[in-house]
Amino acid sequence: MTPRRASGLSRISITRRLVAALTGLVVLFWLIAVGLGAYVMNREFAEIFDGTLQETAERLMPLILDDLAQRAVSTDPQNLQAMERGLKKEYLTFQVLDQTGKVIMHSEEAATVPYEVPLTVGFHNTRKYKIYTQSALNGTLFLHVADAFKNRREALREGTVALLWPLLLLIPASLLVIRLIVSRSLAPIERLRNDIATKDSGNMVPVESDTLPRELRPIARSVNLLLGRLRAALEAEREFTANSAHELRTPIAGALAQTQRLIAELPPGALSERAGRIETSLSNLGRLAEKLLQLARAEAGIGAGDKPTDLVTIIATVVGDYDRDSETAGRVLLEDETNAPLVRNIDIDAFAIVVRNLIENALTHGPKEEPVIVRIGPGSTISIVNGGEIVPAEELAGLKRRFRRGKTKAAGSGLGLAIADRILAQMAARLDLLSPATAHKDGFEARITLPE
């Protein structure tokens, strides 16, 4: 089987396959039954028609003998004509022959030429007729009663069509009934599929298996074992990341503090300038280590949460942190246009990392004399807006990639937007980058659109 054909089959649901297969089998069995019925009807019709043909010949012979006797004393043809009028629309025709094979009497629709059958008592076949021959007067008078095969075929055809008519109702009725039965039978599979589909790093609740059929319980048990291992692995990775962040911050902060103290103790000169460059390098290393650890946490899947959280409170807390910092105090302004809670099942630390990265990006690349606006707008949107020159559209598309930076001289690692985009994707949210900012002639806007 080619990959394309296999892909096409994989898109067909099990329900549709079963409904089509079972309906096809029902139709096939019905057609087989119709065929067998037609075969039995053909044999039964043949016996009935043959019996009728023989009985007609036996009853017709006395009438013919009586008519011939009257003809012997009278030439009046009324008796024969009356008999012929009674056989209008003849399904059976007859010929009366003498011992020489000459036709001396026949029905209205019978041929005047003798049938090509021997003058012997019994059944005979021609191309068009089934004929029964009856003899009288010691073999000097013969009667051929003929039944056309087309009459038998017509009866068989009508009987077969009568058996086929129910198919017009059987096919749609079978589709509906079989689909209903199959859907109810496969409902536990659908529930299990939907339950498994909701599992991610933020939803590791075991799959319910008590209500499943016996055949599906091993699958649910295997999924729960896998979820348990995955939950343990994620917890271990998150714990390692958190510990690593702490262990890396401490020596870098210590080295930075020692360098700053060394700069304060050195006299102005070449050594002081070299120490200053070391301080700058250590500061950049600290920020890079922080971003790499955030990226590692993002890759571990920390976005979704199990409990509802008011995101407005998180945003206000992050903005408050910048207000308490002497270097950024007053530069970050919060505008809440909804004045309503924004509750979602999102991890608190993960969303704080997203907001902090976007605000930090705006502070780094925006003019220092202009504020950064954090706006909570309608439609579950959060916008972080900063001033500055317009970023070309071709650059905007690549800013969410790792280590990708625009045309700027500001310090940075090129990871902030990539981290935010990765975490938001785990929250089923979307990050859009706009330049110029909405309702501005220039500037830059990072807009978060949360799921409803």
Closest-CA residue to 245 (of 294, 212, 202): 294
What are the backbone dihedrals phi and psi of residue 372, each rounded to the nearest 5 degrees, phi first? Answer: -100, 125
From first to last of its 452 residues, the chain has per-residue pLDDT tens of: 444 444 444 556 777 888 888 888 888 888 888 888 888 888 888 888 888 888 888 888 888 888 777 765 444 333 344 444 444 456 788 888 888 888 888 887 777 788 888 888 889 888 888 888 888 888 788 888 888 888 888 888 888 888 888 878 888 888 888 888 888 887 888 888 888 877 765 567 788 877 788 888 888 888 888 888 887 877 777 677 667 766 777 788 888 888 888 888 888 888 888 888 888 888 878 777 777 777 776 666 666 666 788 889 999 999 998 888 888 888 999 998 888 888 888 888 888 888 988 998 888 888 888 899 999 988 889 999 998 888 888 887 778 776 666 666 666 666 778 888 888 888 888 888 898 888 888 889 999 998 87
- The C-alpha atoms of residue 53 and residue 439 are separated, in whole angstroms, by 100
Query: Residue 214 and residue 229: Cα distance in Å, rounded?
Result: 24
8-state DSSP, 392: P
Q: What is the assigned CATH class of domain 303-452?
A: alpha beta
What's at 228, amino acid-wise?
A: G
Q: What are phi and psi of 7, to 5 degrees?
A: -65, -40
pTM: 0.49
CATH of 14-164 given 2.40.50, 1.10.3470, 3.30.450, 3.40.50:
3.30.450
* 89 Rama sector, left if φ>0, alpha if ψ -120 to 50, beta otherwise: left
Query: Can you read off the two tokens belonging to residue 159?
Result: 């009987």
pLDDT value at residue 69: 77
Strands (E), 20-125: 92-98, 103-106, 122-125
Q: What is the pLDDT of residue 79?
A: 37
List, in order, residues 6 or more apart from 119 with CB less than 8 Å away.
Answer: 97, 99, 101, 133, 135, 142
The DSSP annotation for 195-236 comes to HHHT-BTTB-PPPP-TTS-TTTHHHHHHHHHHHHHHHHHHHH
What are the extents of the domains in the chain?
14-164, 198-301, 303-452
Contact 103, 95 (CB under 8 A): yes
